[in-house]
Each structure stands twice: as structure tokens, then as C-alpha cells.
Chains A and B, each alone.
Chain A
Amino acid sequence: MALTEERPPLELTSGEEAVVRKPLGVFTRPSDSPGWRSWLTTVDHKKIGIMYGATAMAFFALGGLEALLIRAQLAQPNGQVLDPQVYNQLFTMHGTTMVFLVIMPMLAGFANYLIPLMIGARDVAYPRLNAFSYWVFLFGGLFLYSSFFLGGAPDSGWFNYAPQSGVAYSPGHGIDFWVLGLQITGIASLVGAVNLIVTCLNMRAPGMTLLRMPVFVWMALVAQFLLLFAIPVITVALFLLMFDRLYGANFFVVEAGADPLLWQHLFWIFGHPEVYILILPAFGIVSDVIPTFSRKPLFGYPFMVFSGIAIGFMGWGVWAHHMFASGVGPVSVAAFSLSTMFIAVPTGVKIFNWIGTLWRGKLSFTVAMLFAVGLVSQFTIGGLSGVMHSVAPHDTQQTDTYFVVAHFHYVLFGGSMFGIFSGIYYWWPKIFGHKLSERIGKVHFWLMFAGFNLTFGPMHIVGLQGMPRRTATYPEGMGWDLMNLLETIGSFLIALSFLVWVYNVVRSRKNPHAGADPWDGRTLEWATSSPPPVHNFDVEPTVGHLDEWWHRKYDEDESGRPVRREHYEFLSAVDEVSLGRGGREPQVDTSSIHLPSPSYWPIVIALGLPLISYGLLYTYWLSALGGIMVVGGVVGLGLEPSVDPEAGHDDHGHDDGHGPGPGTDATGEEAELVGVGAGDGATASGDRAGSGERA
């Protein structure tokens, strides 16, 4: 309120006084009020992170259901559970879902929630674009799934090779849904990548140099760079296929002279970096979990960071190892064989560094730690079968068999998903204020561990025996019967373990409050309350160390052992559970902190995109409506000030006069995140002085 009245409005170039208008738009600005509606309009990175996680877990259940149907079909030879057409749809949607709608958004959720907390920021760089990313992802996923009810889901596998994906061989709308749905989720990934990279580079707290960022932040940053450059490549491929299918272009029409390898190259130039997009943030998660539960700093932090960057670079030079069987020529095969072997080196560095961290650590095997160690061991198995694929003759034998299926499930499920569950158990108390039950969690872990290995371990064997993937049945007498039955039993164990996790989540609400720092953590997110306040930190931290929070809590004695300091200060007001043992609360006035206001525009723009896509398939009127929503939404977003001048600051008391002025409404992104910039002189320098004293 006071904001706009006390300060003179920005003078106009013409010299006359500017009138402070209400933000242009058909909506009244949403208010901060609690309740379900606040989730639709929120721009808070923490809420958006939770929504990413919840949505991804729902898709995980769907993708898992598809997997169970596949396994039910394959439990016995000559399976009759599914029609082959449906089988094709199910394995296509299973792969697409798990890659694009589960692991990617899950890791995006972690990145969203944790990066600002870990680097000491109040929010991401563009909070409204952040909300936009989430809604686009959600609607893109729903659009893709709506294909089941509109004539059948896509059925050409998750890499959808041409010319199989052309109209001639797949005349239904399934592939169209795939093409358009992935374009929509691609927008979400691209916007998210720009947002998170800018956040990592630009929003760090004072003293948070790049080499003081937690490894999770680093790995997420590398993954976002990979996304930034990989998404446009698949966008090109998707556009070309879309023009083929909808408008009769000839890019993949072999009769017109097209080269089907064009699709394979474009897809895998995206697809291989994508593999690292899926695994690197999971590596980051366990790189933060293992030190905490070993009570040691991460062994070889710089090696960890630089090996991650090396993987990011080398990930661009190995794509054709997915195409050894497609006749790319001996020189290409030799070159990509070599580069594929080399990329195992930085990955091996990581494995050894985790082992080095565990070595002589004071280990406590919490569920998070179990899942982290599960990642290290299972990813190693998957990595080893990956190196086997780099040997081209070997790969030619294994290609399109269950050996490949075993390999990528060991890296993506045994690696990424185990990393994700490690992160879920580790950060749950931070996000929701109470722990998940360790006892039930251990049941969950061991069931999932056993089920996972039972499902995918035997696939190595039947794969080497030649069992082809993506085939709806197999005959008797091939010697595959027992193994397939075991695999099916294993997959149902995984499903059971997932239900145990769901039970754990539901039950956890009764668990006692965990406090701000339940694991005696090392990084900044543990220095604020659980769950953190909207503005993340009452006091903006000034960082002096890697593992800053640990150094604030612990000193070293002469022999280098950690000794807990008598007093240390949290960065926010915390509950009593967290105090004691020397912990203190900061005494600061947080009223001067202003965060961006919620907005309707992100969801409006995002809703326009699937409308445009439906329109392309059915009637252009829908496209026109969607187009109007997108354009109108962009204009609305641009004209709306990121902080609502009309918003009541009741809960903030007074305004310090450094808040955003009316000039903010000139352009949209220009004034994003006034919260941090706003406190300018007064609060920020005050904080800095305060923490300087402490140091």
C-alpha cells in the first residue's frame, strides 16, 4: 500500500507525472491467501518444486502401471494379456513417461526447491516463468496422456524411429500426440533451464563462489546447460516430423529420397545428453547425502565438480553409439566407440570419490543413505554394461535385446530413481517439517532393492541369449520362461515397495516435527527453518566456506576433529526442536522483504499451448483460441509488475521505502524478483555486517 503512495512515481520522459495504474489485465491480481487456489497462482519456488514432485510421482505411478501390464504380458510365453497393438502403446508410453514426465520433472522439482536454498537466494531468477514452466509441463503431460482416450497412444517406441513414425506406418493420431506433447514439455524444460542457470550464476549469496556451491547445485547446473542445448535439437526433429505428418512435408518419407538416419542423428544428439540430464542431478543428490551420513566432507569436491562438467561436455560426443547397428560407417563407429569408452572415466572418478567419502566415515545407514549407496552400486553395474556397449561388435550383438533394457534400467532406475528416493527421504523433513518413517522406509528400500534386481538382473541373461525387446510375445522352449517369470515377480515387488512408500508418506503427517536440521546437515538449506519461510532466510547468509552450515556449527581441534561450537546462529526463526546445543535464532526484522506476487498469467499461457495442439489435430478454431490465450497471456505477464503495487503488506508491517517503485511495471521480466534487489542498502548490508561479526 504505502509503497505506491509514499514514493513519487517514476517521472515520464515527457516531463509529466505518470499515473500509477492498476496492472492491466482481465484478472484482479491474486492475493497471497492460503488454500488450494494459492497453488494455481503461486510463484514461490518451494511450492512449485513440491508441485513438480507430486505431479512426477503421479506419472511415476502411471508409468509403473504400464510396466506392470507389460510384465504381466511377458510373464509366460505366448502371453495373451495384451493385444500387440496395445503392447506397443504401453512400452512407448512407459518409456516416454519415465523419461519426460517422471525423472526430468522430479529432478526439476528438486532443483527448483533446493537451488535457491542452497545458494542462499530468496527465489529463482524469474519466479513467474518458473510457474509457467511447471504448468506447461503438467499440461503437456496431460495432453500426451489424453491420446489414450482419443484414438490410441503413440506406439513407435520412445525414440520413435523414422520412417516407422510416418503417417504411412502409423496412421492414427498417437504419434501426433507424442510430437506435440513433447514440444510442449520441451518449452517447459527450456524455460526452466534458462531460469535455473541464471539463478545459479546470478543469485548466489555474498561469498557463495562457484566452487562453494553444493555438488547438487553444480550437477543440476550442468544438467540445465545440457537441456538448454539439447532441447532445441529434439525440437527441430519434432517439428520436422510434425510437418511430415500434418502438412505433407518429405523429411522422413523414404520414397521421396529422405534419409531416415536424419531422425536418428537429431534424436540421439538430443538423446544422449538427455541421459546425463537424467543422471547428473541424481549424482548431485547422493553427493550431498553421502557426506552428511558419513560425517565427512565430500572426498575430492573439485574432482566431483569437474568430472560432472567433463561428462557434460563429453556427453555431446557419444550419440552415435546408439546407432552402431544402423550403418553409420566404420570411421564413425570407431570414433564413437572411443569417445564412449572415455566418458566412463569421469563417471568412474565420481564412483571412486563416493567410495572415498564413505571410507573411514562415521556411517549411519538411514534410508536416504541406503538409497544413495544403492545408486552407487547399481549405477556401477549399469555403467559396466554401458562400457560393454561401447565395443561396437559387442553392441551389434546386444542391440535391441533385453541386455540393453537391463543396462538402461540399471542406470535410470537403479541410478536416477534410487537417487531421487534418496533425496526424497533426505529432504522430506526440510520440505514438510517431519521425517518419513525410517522403519517403513527401510522396508521400502529393501523391497525396492530386491524387486529392482530381480526384475532387471535376469534381463542381462535373456538379453545375451537373444530375447528381443519391444516384441509382444516370445515362444516356448527358448529357455527364457523362468527368467521372465522372475522378472515379472520382481516388477510386482517394485510396485509393492512403491505402495509402502505411499503408505509412509500418508502416515508421516503424524510424525513429530523434525526441526530445522535433523541430519546435522552441511549445506545452507539446513540453516533455515523446516519448512522454510516464504522468503527462505530471515538473514541473507554471507558464505565463507564450502559446506558453510557445517563450518558455522563445528570448529576443528588440533587433530582436525570436528568440535561443535558453543554458539551458532540459524538463518531464520526456528522452532524449539531445533534450538538447544548452541543453536540460536537471528533477531531481525523481516518486514522489508518483498517477494514477487502470485500471478494468473503463467497458468493461462500454459493452458493455451495444449489448446493450440488439439487445434492442429482437430479444428483450427481451437488453435486460434489457444493462440489468443498465449499472446494475451504474454502481454498480460509483460505489463503486470512482478510485485503487485496494490498488494497489502499487512504481514510485513511497514515498508522501508526501498521496495519496487511503479517503474517496475514497464516490462515484465525486467523487474523479476524485486525481493532480493529490493532490500538494497538497508537490509542486505545490515545482514552482511551481522554475519561479518559472527565470522
Chain B
Amino acid sequence: MSVSEQTAPPEVVADRADHVPHDAAAPAHHTSTGLSNEKLGMWLFLGSECLLFGGLISAFLLYRSKDVEGMVGPAVGDLYDIPFTSVSSFVLLMSSLTMVLSLSAIQRADHRRARTWLLTTAMLGATFIAGQVYEFTSFVREGLGYTTNLQSSAFYTLTGFHGVHVTIGILMLVSLFVMSLRGRLPAERSETVEIVGLYWHFVDIIWIIIFTLVYLIPA
């Protein structure tokens, strides 16, 4: 089956001539839809994740707008450091760009560059997480713990779930980097990078929604 048509532009095929030419184990798009099982599975999983974040965001919005008499502790909306979070959001957004650059590099069999961009993406993600840790600790220092009030529980749960997703993404990126170093990520398997990329972009998009709804739009 014409593997290359699906995974890489035609001119790349010639470049890959030095690889095993008819490698039956490369992701053969031998499927009814033409999408590989792995990619289709990732899309389905992400569809499911939409509902997960939908539920968490709904819970937060419900409780943010709730005016509770005698609420304990500060309101989460009074503590936001919008410039700081804007910067860390920008960092996360840029990591989507580097993710694309990494995919493009590996499809061109430019493995050095692919690894560089993979590592950059992971570092940008880690920067975002570091920012989140800083944000959480500063909130706690100002008296907003996880159990302080309704809003704080909802806020930490929502952003915490997102943070865990970014962290899992970083782990996957690092795994890809190591695989590439050990030569287990040839251009034929660029789809693996693409699939991790799908996840990474999804987590990014979710952050755009969270940043808009949670931080930017006032309660």
C-alpha cells in the first residue's frame, strides 16, 4: 500500500531511498478509512477529552459566578496576575509552533532539527508548568488554598487537570526525543510525532479556552 502518500510529500520518497525501501512494518494505511488506527484513536480520545474539560469548565463557571454570603478567603478573580499568565500562555502557544516545526523536520528526515524542536517544545511546556507552579504557590501564600472556598476548589481542579495534561505531553515529547536519539524514530514513523502533536495542540487549545473564560472574562 502506498504508505508514503499518506505520511510524507512525494519528493521525500526519494530521500528515503537509503532506508529500507519496502518496510512492511511502517504504518501501513491498510485501513477502511485511510487514516491509521493510531491517528483515528487519538482523534477519538481527544473528542472524549473535550467533554472532560467541558465538565470541569462548567463546574468552574458555575461556582465562579456564585455569590456566597460570607465566603471564606479571597475570591480567585482578585488574585489573577494577568500579565504574568499572558506571558506563560504565550509560551505555551509558541510550543505549538515548535511542535509543527519538529514534525515538518522529521518528515524531511532532518533528524537533528526534529530533535531540537522536540526538545524546545518540551522546554516551553515545562516553562508553562513552572509558571503554573509559581502561580499556585503565590495564590496559596495569599490565603487561597485548595479547600478555602468553592471557587478555589474549582479553580485548582480545572487548571490542575490542564497542568497534568501538559505534563503528560512533556513526558511524551521527551520519550520521542529519546527514541529519536536511539534511532527508533525514522521518517517513516513521523506519524508518531504527528499523533503526539495532535495531543499537544489540543492541550494548547484547551488552555486558550481556559485562559479566556477563567482569566480574561470577568466574573
Q: Do A and B come from one complex?
A: yes
Chain A residues in the interface with B (C-beta under 8 A): 8, 10-14, 16, 18, 125-126, 190, 193-195, 197-198, 201-204, 208, 228-233, 235-237, 239-240, 243, 247-251, 256-259, 262, 266, 269, 638, 658-667, 669-674, 676-678, 680
Whether a CB of chain A sits under 8 angstroms from the CB of B62 is yes
Known A11-B20, A663-B23; judge A240-B192 contact (CB<8 A). Answer: no
Whether a CB of chain A sits under 8 angstroms from the CB of B11 is no
Within 8 A of A (CB), among B139-184: 146-147, 149-150, 153-154, 157, 175, 179-180, 183-184
A248 to B186, CA, bound (A): 49
Q: Is the CB of A660 within 8 A of B45?
A: no
Q: Is the CB of B183 within 8 A of A14?
A: yes
Whether a CB of chain A sits under 8 angstroms from the CB of B214 is no
Q: Is the CB of A673 within 8 A of B23?
A: no
**A202 CB contacts on chain B under 8 angstroms:** 31-33, 35, 37, 40
Question: Looking at B31, B47, B153, B175, which has the most chain A CB atoms within 10 Å of its CB?
Answer: B153
Q: Is the CB of A669 within 8 A of B52?
A: no
Measured CB to CB, the nearest residue on chain B to A259 is B62
Whether a CB of chain A sits under 8 angstroms from the CB of B212 is no
A383 to B63, CA, bound (A): 37
**Subset of 8 A-B contacts with CB under 8 Å:** A13-B180, A202-B33, A204-B32, A236-B52, A249-B147, A257-B150, A661-B25, A677-B30
Interface residues of B, count at CB 8 A: 58
Whether a CB of chain A sits under 8 angstroms from the CB of B28 is yes
Supply 20 further A-B pairs (C-beta < 8 A) apart from A249-B157, A661-B20: A11-B19, A13-B111, A13-B186, A126-B41, A198-B40, A198-B44, A201-B31, A201-B33, A231-B48, A232-B51, A233-B55, A236-B52, A250-B149, A251-B59, A251-B150, A259-B63, A259-B66, A667-B179, A670-B38, A680-B24
Known A13-B109, A194-B41, A661-B23; judge A247-B147 contact (CB<8 A). Answer: yes
Shortest CB–CB separation between residue B56 and chain A, in angstroms? 6
**A257 CB contacts on chain B under 8 angstroms:** 63, 66, 68-69, 71, 149-150
| 9 closest residue pairs by CB, A with B | A236-B55, A257-B68, A12-B183, A232-B52, A202-B31, A249-B153, A661-B25, A232-B51, A248-B147
Whether a CB of chain A sits under 8 angstroms from the CB of B26 is yes
A194 to B45, CA, bound (A): 7
Shortest CB–CB separation between residue A483 and chain B, in angstroms? 41
Q: Is the CB of A661 within 8 A of B18?
A: no
Shortest CB–CB separation between residue A618 and chain B, in angstroms? 21
Shortest CB–CB separation between residue A231 and chain B, in angstroms? 7
Q: Is the CB of B157 within 8 A of A243?
A: yes
Whether a CB of chain A sits under 8 angstroms from the CB of B27 is yes
Shortest CB–CB separation between residue B78 and chain A, in angstroms? 17
Shortest CB–CB separation between residue B140 and chain A, in angstroms? 14
Q: Is the CB of B55 within 8 A of A237?
A: yes
**A660 CB contacts on chain B under 8 angstroms:** 24-25
A256 to B26, CA, bound (A): 56
Chain B residues in the interface with A (C-beta under 8 A): 1, 18-20, 23-28, 30-33, 35, 37-38, 40-41, 44-45, 47-52, 54-56, 59, 62-63, 66, 68-69, 71-72, 109, 111, 146-147, 149-150, 153-154, 157, 175, 179-180, 183-186, 188-189, 191-192
Count A-B contacts at CB 8 Å: 174
Q: Is the CB of A232 within 8 A of B48?
A: yes
Interface of A is mostly: helix
**B147 CB contacts on chain A under 8 angstroms:** 247-250
Q: Is the CB of B37 within 8 A of A125?
A: yes
A230 to B44, CA, bound (A): 13
A14 to B66, CA, bound (A): 60
A197 to B44, CA, bound (A): 8
Q: Is the CB of B109 within 8 A of A10?
A: no
Q: Is the CB of A666 within 8 A of B150?
A: no
**A662 CB contacts on chain B under 8 angstroms:** 25
Q: Which residue of A256, A258, A670 is within 8 Å of B27 (Cβ)?
A: A670
Q: Is the CB of A10 within 8 A of B20?
A: yes
A228 to B66, CA, bound (A): 31
A674 to B36, CA, bound (A): 12
Q: Is the CB of B51 within 8 A of A233?
A: yes
Q: Is the CB of A262 within 8 A of B44?
A: no
A232 to B47, CA, bound (A): 10
Known A251-B59, A259-B62, A672-B37; judge A678-B24 contact (CB<8 A). Answer: yes
Shortest CB–CB separation between residue A242 and chain B, in angstroms? 10
Measured CB to CB, the nearest residue on chain B to A265 is B58
Q: Is the CB of A256 within 8 A of B150?
A: yes
Q: Is the CB of A680 within 8 A of B1?
A: yes
A232 to B150, CA, bound (A): 22
A239 to B63, CA, bound (A): 16
**B180 CB contacts on chain A under 8 angstroms:** 13
Shortest CB–CB separation between residue A644 and chain B, in angstroms? 13
Q: Which residue of B40, B45, B189 is within 8 Å of A670 (Cβ)?
A: B189
A44 to B24, CA, bound (A): 22
Question: Looking at A14, A125, A667, which has the most chain B CB atoms within 10 Å of its CB?
Answer: A667
Q: Is the CB of A664 within 8 A of B25?
A: yes
Q: Which residue of B48, B71, B185 is within 8 Å of A228 (Cβ)?
A: B48
A108 to B49, CA, bound (A): 21
Measured CB to CB, the nearest residue on chain A to B189 is A666
**B184 CB contacts on chain A under 8 angstroms:** 665-666
Q: Is the CB of A228 within 8 A of B44?
A: yes
Measured CB to CB, the nearest residue on chain A to B52 is A232
Q: Which residue of A208, A258, A266, A665 is within 8 Å of B150 (Cβ)?
A: A258
Q: Is the CB of B55 within 8 A of A266?
A: yes
A266 to B185, CA, bound (A): 42
